[in-house]
């Protein structure tokens, strides 16, 4: 199960008890709009969300090890994150 708020994450909207992965995508320190994919521990595609205009994204996911793949004009970058049940994992992705 996953999803994202269209306008970008707002800490006040994190669902208590949900396993949340959120963060931002930047290039040279500036936010970049694009997409972020959520891949499971085997590299299998699970979900994709658009980033907000400020490069922010959010997924609600099961606990475990995930790969986030940022896809933006002119580049891609992967980051691995470990999500803990009911926790919030913050991830910064520089492309």
Domains and CATH numbers, the chain: 23-94 (2.60.40.10)
Residues 78 and 67 sit within 8 Å (Cβ to Cβ): yes
Using the 8-state DSSP alphabet, how is residue 54 labeled? T
Question: pTM above the 0.85 mark?
Answer: no
Considering the chain, what is the average pLDDT of its residues? 88
Tokens representing residue 70 in the block: 């940022």
DSSP code at position 15: P
Mean pLDDT across 23-38: 97
Distances, alpha carbon 95 to alpha carbons 12, 29, 42, 57, 84, in Å: 27, 10, 23, 15, 25
| Higher local confidence (pLDDT), 88 or 15 | 88
Phi and psi dihedrals of 13, rounded to 5? -100, 5
């Amino acid at each position: 199960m996953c999803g994202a708020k269209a306008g970008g994450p707002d800490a006040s909207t994190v669902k208590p008890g949900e396993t949340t992965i959120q963060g931002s995508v930047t290039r040279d320190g500036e936010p970049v709009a694009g997409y972020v994919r959520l891949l499971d521990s085997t590299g299998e595609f699970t979900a994709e969300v658009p980033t907000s205009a400020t490069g922010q994204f959010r997924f609600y996911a099961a606990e475990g090890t995930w790969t986030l793949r940022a896809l933006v004009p002119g580049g891609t970058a992967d980051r691995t994150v470990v999500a803990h049940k009911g926790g919030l994992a913050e991830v910064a992705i520089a492309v």
